[in-house]
Structure 1
Amino acid sequence: MNTFMRWAGILVTVFIAAPLVIVVPMSFSSASSLQFPPPGYWLGYYRAYFTDLDWLIPTWNSIVIASATTLLTMLLVVPATFALVRHKFRGKGVADLMMLMPLAVPHIVMAVGYYSYLGDLGLVHSHMGVILAHTCLSVPIAFLVLSANLKGFDRNLERAALSLGASPTKTFIHITLPILRPGLIISALFAFIQSFDETVVAIFISGRDAETLPRKMFDSIRQEADPVIAVISTLLFFLVLVGIATPYFISTLRSRAPTPSRSPAGAH
């Protein structure tokens, strides 16, 4: 079983990473369009990306929108998760279902609905409109991650703190939050990636002033297949890889850190 799981993990990793074998070389290509194998190699398209406002402005828009989406998502998900995981009330099953509903509905269907609803509010082609739409898409993913962490939380730790005189607020800040920190970080990271990478809804909702990077890439590949797309794809992959690996790297370093020895009482 362990051998099977190991090989399954290897095959999945290879399947996910295989496109990089094509995309990374194309990002260094000297061709005027996406071409594999590249006829030659240079860094011109990396320079073009970092100096062209047509690409930098959508990149900045995506960063702003994804950051705001992440903040709004966590403000909604954290209290909702605590309420749904730790309390029983009438309609709890329906509330759970509503939190996960966006995962079951095709993005194109949601995009049409968002366009109609946000259009009535005058928010189509605005940053706020994209943020609200992306928040609806990010909530289910963040909820799944955080609820899994909260269900495995040992509440005896909180009870012990309360029995020793700590207030509920101090218990939450000093006991609950530190233990749930990895889940909170991963939830926020997934919400950010979901927003930054989303294309379908952005095509409907974002306009010239709120154009996101995925929409810019989609429009570019339809019109001219600019090799800058390969540059952005390569950079995004490694940024996501670093973002996902960093919490685990920090956790590993902390677990391997030597525990300071305590001297016996009265020793000099």
Structure 2
Amino acid sequence: MKFARLLACLIAAVLVAPLFVVVPMSFSSTASLEFPPPGWSAAGYARFLASPDWMGALWHSILIASCATLIALALAIPASFALVRHTFFGRGAFNLLLMMPMIVPQIVMALGYYAYFGRLRMSQSFAALIIAHTCLALPVATLILTAAIRTFDRNLERAAMNLGARPMQTFWLVTFPVLRPAMLVAALFSFIQSFDEAVIAVFLAGPDTGTLPRQMFNSFRMEADPVISAASSFLLAIVCAAILAPLAVRIVRGRAAEVPARANAART
């Protein structure tokens, strides 16, 4: 048990260690990446928030990742139910086809997308990026949902149908509430998979459809601008806020529920 905790702490330290380099460099006063920073300044954040290139790339990434997540979930939910609950010809080939984007190297997929969408004259368009990112997010969502559906107790659905519920009513009133946490997790990981993708964006994104990872790659390649660290730290702050927000809501609700209980205890 102690060895497992020590190993977990070591892995966490390795994962978190780069943050102690990236975050301080985001406040550097120099015009290039340098650690430790010779001086402190928030100019990198000001340039990131004021630059139309960086902010446009950020909104493009959010838009593309959101659309890819919605489409991936719309495809992964019925595909997961089909794989878990039904036996049909070509089931193994269908599952392999869904998992193919995780098996094939992204550089190979990027070249394929570039040639395919180039012939259709769709390269450097939002539609091409959304379709490509949907293919990347689909296997992630499918793996999460199939694991959740396998552990789902179908007796709940049978009980609802025995009470007169129709198939769609059973899904919305019984199946969906139980699988909702898994769907939210699948949506989160699909969004991250799309938002963090850079290789395909380098091949497909144009000057008006650039994503944030592509903008960071180009900036690092051309000038090693400290804005890269500011952008990374800014996104890290947003992720931390999103993770801590539900915890803060639970704490506030718990304290709010304790007030009437204490008042009733004082009365008695």
Residue number in structure 2 paired with 1:198: 197
Superposed counterparts of 1:1-268, under 5 Å: 2-243=1-242
- Deviation (angstroms), 1:167: 1.2
Would the aligned equivalents of 1:182 and 1:247 in 2 still touch at CA under 8 Å? Answer: no
- Deviation (angstroms), 1:234: 1.2
User: CA 1:159/1:242 → structure 2, altered by over 3 Å: closer, same or farther?
Assistant: farther
SS in 2 for 1:36: coil
Instruction: Give, in whole Å, the separation in 2 of the partners of 1:27 and 1:110.
Output: 33
CA displacement, residues 133-161 of structure 1 (integer Å, 9 cap, x when unaligned): 11111111111111111111111111111
Instruction: Give, in whole Å, the separation in 2 of the partners of 1:93 and 1:138.
Output: 20
Amino acid of the residue matched to residue 195 of structure 1?
S
User: CA 1:181/1:119 → structure 2, altered by over 3 Å: closer, same or farther?
Assistant: same
SS in 1 for 2:29: coil
SS in 2 for 1:165: coil
Cα root mean square deviation, aligned: 2.1
CA displacement, residues 77-132 of structure 1 (integer Å, 9 cap, x when unaligned): 11111111111111111111111111111100000000011111111000100000
Instruction: Give, in whole Å, the separation in 2 of the partners of 1:47 and 1:118.
Output: 37
Instruction: Give, in whole Å, the separation in 2 of the partners of 1:139 and 1:50.
Output: 32
Instruction: Give, in whole Å, the separation in 2 of the partners of 1:257 and 1:97.
Output: 50
Amino acid of the residue matched to residue 12 of structure 1?
I
Aligned residues: 257
Amino acid of the residue matched to residue 26 of structure 1?
M
- Deviation (angstroms), 1:244: 5.0
Instruction: Give, in whole Å, the separation in 2 of the partners of 1:212 and 1:115.
Output: 16
SS in 1 for 2:17: helix
Amino acid of the residue matched to residue 172 of structure 2?
I
Amino acid of the residue matched to residue 215 of structure 2?
K
User: CA 1:126/1:177 → structure 2, altered by over 3 Å: closer, same or farther?
Assistant: same
User: CA 1:242/1:103 → structure 2, altered by over 3 Å: closer, same or farther?
Assistant: farther
SS in 2 for 1:24: helix
Instruction: Give, in whole Å, the separation in 1 of the partners of 2:255 and 2:175.
Output: 23
Instruction: Give, in whole Å, the separation in 2 of the partners of 1:124 and 1:64.
Output: 17
User: CA 1:106/1:255 → structure 2, altered by over 3 Å: closer, same or farther?
Assistant: farther
CA displacement, residues 202-260 of structure 1 (integer Å, 9 cap, x when unaligned): 000111111111101100001111101001111222333444566687789999998xx
Unaligned stretches of 5+ residues in structure 2: 258-268
CA displacement, residues 12-53 of structure 1 (integer Å, 9 cap, x when unaligned): 111111100100000111111111000111111111111111
Query: TM-score, normalised on structure 2?
Result: 0.90
Instruction: Give, in whole Å, the separation in 1 of the partners of 2:166 and 2:29.
Output: 64
Instruction: Give, in whole Å, the separation in 2 of the partners of 1:97 and 1:110.
Output: 16
Residue number in structure 2 paired with 1:266: none
Farther-moved stretch of structure 1 (104-113 vs 5-14): 5-14
SS in 1 for 2:18: helix
Unaligned stretches of 5+ residues in structure 1: 259-268
Instruction: Give, in whole Å, the separation in 1 of the partners of 2:115 and 2:243.
Output: 35
Would the aligned equivalents of 1:103 and 1:140 in 2 still touch at CA under 8 Å? Answer: yes
Query: TM-score, normalised on structure 1?
Result: 0.90
Percent sequence identity is: 50
